Amino acid sequence: MSTSTIPESLKHFQLERVLNEDPVTHTIALLGQLQMEGGKLSSAIIRIEKTALSASSVLDVLSNLKDVQLIEHTDIYSWLFAWLNQSQDRPEVKINVVCPATEVHVRKYSAQQTILVRETPEIFERIVKPYIAAFPPTRIQWVYNILSGKSEVDKILYRDTSEDYGYVILPDMKWDLITVSSLYLVAIVQSKDIRCLRDLRRRHLGMLRGIRREASRIAKEKWGLSDGSIRFFVHYQPSYYHFHVHIVNANYIGTAGSTVGQAHLLDDLISMLELDPEDGPSIFERLTLTYGLGDQHGLYESMRAAQTELWESAS
């Protein structure tokens, strides 16, 4: 689908069902059909998110309300509904489009029930590693396009050109590019050999420290965020198997992915690697990891069965 046709296609989106709605993050994910060039319909996921309000624009918001209706009033408290005038400077919603959407995308964006699983090194080798290896490179072609300079060139905030230890830093697609309190960047490493945190070794310390240093510098120079104002974390399991680091405002809590059971602080990963010997197996090869896994994840059934084996062997 051409990017120029997406806005018009959204007006004719044919809804099939709601995949997920989250009142906490003010998001909703929809599955349906979008019309491609030539009139052909294609499966698509539309994720709509209310954009955040910034302190610098709140007075403009209040002075430019299109309509206000009183819902309830008691003593000193009042509740109202309000509609905002359209503004080119501050859009009311942010929309992400996945088209064509595969069954994997549908599962990813669907509401999920989560269980905690324990992944021993043996379970990783037997179940998780083959699962990761089976992912076709085409699934993350968009990552390779960023790294090669074919896409999002104008968004790159920093690029380390080292072939083995290089990386890029750019805004994450979840950020509205405006609200500093919800700042969200991502660092993507150049190497294809680091699929997840299990692949980290002591030799990667310089790269990880570089990501922490350069992202902190960028946040300070561009957005005035001082040291300690940024949270760096890595997901396990990640949403895609090419190593990347999430970089967010330390006060931003609008994503479930930053919670315990999925997020691992970059500082902790660095400290653990610093304890590694110069030779021998890495700590991430020897560690048992406990994390949350949704029932729509491709690993769910096999990992749930593996938990039964762990309990039986421990009893």
Task: Give CA–CA dist 265/260, Å, rounded.
Answer: 10
pLDDT at 4 over 60: no
Write down the pLDDT at residue 226: 92
DSSP code of 82?
A: E
Dihedral sign computed on CA atoms, order 216, 217, 223, 224:
positive
DSSP code of 251?
A: T
Task: Give CA–CA dist 35/14, Å, rounded.
Answer: 9
pTM: 0.78
Residues 6+ apart with CB under 8 A from 9: 1, 34, 35, 36
pLDDT at 56 over 70: no
How many other C-beta atoms are found inside a 10 Å radius of the C-beta of residue 209? 14
Sort 204 into a burial class: Cβ within 10 Å, 0-12 / 13-18 / 19+.
buried
Q: Indicate which residue of 105, 204, 244, 297 is catalytic.
A: 244
DSSP code of 298?
A: T
Q: Please name the residue ranges forming H helices in 159-227.
A: 205-223
Write down the pLDDT at residue 234: 96
Tell me whether residue 244 is one of the annotated catalytic residues: yes
Task: For residue 126, give the amino acid letter.
Answer: R
149: three-class secondary structure by DSSP: coil
For the chain, the distance separating the N- and C-terminal CA atoms, rounded to the nearest angstrom, is: 55
pLDDT at 1 over 60: no
CATH homologous superfamily of 112-314: HIT-like (3.30.428.10)
pLDDT at 311 over 90: no
> Which CATH fold would you assign to the domain 1-54+94-101?
Phosphorylase Kinase; domain 1 (3.30.200)
User: Which tens digits make up the pLDDT trace of 274-290?
Assistant: 999 888 889 999 999 99
User: Which tens digits make up the pLDDT trace of 179-215?
Assistant: 888 899 999 999 999 999 999 999 999 999 999 999 9
Across the chain, mean pLDDT equals 87
The arrangement of strands across the sheet holding 14-22 comes to 14-22, 27-35, 41-50, 93-98
pLDDT band at 89 (very low <50, low <70, confident <90, very high): low
How many other C-beta atoms are found inside a 10 Å radius of the C-beta of residue 51? 16
Domain range summary for the chain, segments of one domain joined by +? 1-54+94-101, 57-89, 112-314
User: Which tens digits make up the pLDDT trace of 141-188?
Assistant: 999 999 999 988 999 999 999 988 999 999 998 888 888 888 999 999
Write down the pLDDT at residue 273: 96
Determine phi and psi for 214, rounding to 5 degrees: -70, -35
pLDDT at 57 over 70: no
